[in-house]
Amino acid sequence: MNPHPVEAGDALARLREFEAVLDVRSPGEFALDHLPGAANWWVLDDAERARVGTLYKQQGAFEAKRLGAALVARNIALHLERSGQSWPRRQRVLVYCWRGGNRSGAMAHVLAQIGFPVSLVQGGYKALRAALVERLAGLAEAQRLVVVCGPTGSGKSRLLLALQARGAQVLDLERLAAHRGSVLGAMADEAQPSQKAFETRIWERMRDFDPLRPVFVESESRRIGRLQVPPALIERMRAAECLRLQAEPEVRVQVLLGDYADMRADPEELQRRLRTLHELRGAQAVARWQRMAAAGEFAELTRELLAQHYDPSYAASMQRNYQQFAQAASMQVAHAEAFEELAARVQRHFDPADAAARVQPA
């Protein structure tokens, strides 16, 4: 049968089998979340979708379908002319819309009539989303997580990058969330994704992990910026084995000055973000920190923020939220550029088989 109906869970499991994954929803729907690697071959753009919906309310289904059919046909032709002319004859295509209805059905029908092997997701994005959430919970449960802990500035994110460069399995939630996890942590050049897109990014990263090897993840609160870590994952993290990084205060200052270079380059934005600490730290302290930011006194500002804002509640919070924190292996960060060497030590401790495989014969 062509197009071939496929259940959402099967589509996720076989996603790499398809040379093209087509999300035919509107650009606005697509921007909120979509399958990894999907192309947006919308059959109605946002304005057209609104226009058809308005016509349906005002004049009924027949007039709305007549207009919709003309728009859909025109848009399918446009996509085929722009992007489909170079496809090989046996290009395997997966198509979905919101609920697996008229929009995806129209695209799938045309592509199947041309001769492409087409799979049509039953239940559309709505079913894919439900299947992904279920699989994400299962993936979280299956992993051997190692939670990298340490006070602000100890270089947890830098260690994750160094571990990933060495081939370790790393789940960098802050990178996936486009946020550094603190009150100053918003990225200057990247907005946070939607909650659904964040969870899709996590699933995409985790689906290839080997459950027999450790997965390194940074200790996080339930919220990263405005996004929530999926419940099954955060609960699994809080019960997991821990690694504790320790660093001298000046090492932490140097790490933070490097990691927040964007804030040093934009003192006005830094002052704006510091205002959010009014309720916690008081107007007088925040005004002082804003003056330091305006004067370019970033090292001293960092020292005060560590001593007065970040450090006081750190140990109690970790003991409360991470069950194995007290028993965690501890490693010292020697200086702000020491993470390549530290990553090798961490691998030898937690993943000795993989570390041994990386030792090259003389």
Model confidence over 224-249: pLDDT tens digits? Answer: 999 999 999 999 999 999 999 999 99
138 in any annotated domain: no
- Whether residues 220 and 311 share a domain: the answer is yes
Residues in the chain: 362
Give the C-alpha separation, 185 to 135, whole Å: 29
Given this model, what pLDDT does residue 172 score?
Answer: 98
Nearest to 154 by CA among 331, 350, 362: 331
Tokens of 330: 């501890």
191 in any annotated domain: yes
66 alpha-carbon distance from chain centroid: 40
- Whether residues 99 and 201 share a domain: the answer is no
Q: What is the mean pLDDT of the chain?
A: 94
- Whether residues 187 and 122 share a domain: the answer is no
Give the C-alpha separation, 235 to 212, whole Å: 20
Which residue range forms the structural domain that includes residue 211? 143-357
- Whether residues 107 and 168 share a domain: the answer is no
For residue 193, say if its preceding peptide bond is cis, omega within 30 degrees of 0: no
295 in any annotated domain: yes
- At which of 88, 107, 131 does a domain end? 131
Grade residue 352 by pLDDT with cuts at 50, 70 and 90.
confident
Grade residue 358 by pLDDT with cuts at 50, 70 and 90.
low
Contact 199, 183 (CB under 8 A): no
Given this model, what pLDDT does residue 357 score?
Answer: 61
Grade residue 267 by pLDDT with cuts at 50, 70 and 90.
very high
Given this model, what pLDDT does residue 353 score?
Answer: 74
- Whether residues 51 and 78 share a domain: the answer is yes
Grade residue 361 by pLDDT with cuts at 50, 70 and 90.
very low
Give the C-alpha separation, 66 to 72, whole Å: 10
Given this model, what pLDDT does residue 214 score?
Answer: 97
269 in any annotated domain: yes
- Whether residues 124 and 161 share a domain: the answer is no
362 in any annotated domain: no
Contact 144, 212 (CB under 8 A): yes
| CATH classification at residue 90 | 3.40.250.10
Mean pLDDT of 8-20: 97
Locate all alpha helices (DSSP H) within 81-222, ordered by sequence.
Answer: 102-114, 124-142, 156-165, 173-177, 195-206
Nearest to 335 by CA among 252, 245, 218: 252
Give the C-alpha separation, 24 to 108, whole Å: 10
- Whether residues 170 and 311 share a domain: the answer is yes
Q: Which residues are catalytic?
A: 97
Contact 96, 130 (CB under 8 A): no
- Whether residues 123 and 194 share a domain: the answer is no
- Whether residues 77 and 212 share a domain: the answer is no
321-335: per-residue pLDDT in tens?
999 999 999 999 999
Bridge partners (DSSP) listed for residue 170: 216
> How many structural domains compose the chain?
2
- Whether residues 153 and 100 share a domain: the answer is no
136 in any annotated domain: no
Bridge partners (DSSP) listed for residue 73: none
Grade residue 269 by pLDDT with cuts at 50, 70 and 90.
very high
- Whether residues 262 and 167 share a domain: the answer is yes
Strands 223-224, 227-228: pairing kind? antiparallel
DSSP annotation of 149 reads E
- At which of 86, 110, 131 does a domain end? 131
Locate all alpha helices (DSSP H) within the chain, ordered by sequence.
Answer: 8-13, 27-32, 46-59, 61-79, 102-114, 124-142, 156-165, 173-177, 195-206, 231-238, 249-259, 261-264, 267-274, 278-281, 283-294, 298-305, 314-321, 339-350, 352-357
117 in any annotated domain: yes
- Whether residues 127 and 168 share a domain: the answer is no
Write the single-letter amino acid at 27.
Answer: P
Given this model, what pLDDT does residue 315 score?
Answer: 82
137 in any annotated domain: no
Contact 2, 112 (CB under 8 A): yes
292-313: per-residue pLDDT in tens?
999 999 999 999 999 999 998 8
| CATH classification at residue 335 | 3.40.50
Contact 209, 164 (CB under 8 A): no
pTM of the model: 0.93
Contact 148, 168 (CB under 8 A): no
Tokens of 91: 């290009």
pLDDT of 157 higher than 80? yes
- At which of 131, 165, 200 does a domain end? 131
pLDDT of 341 higher than 50? yes
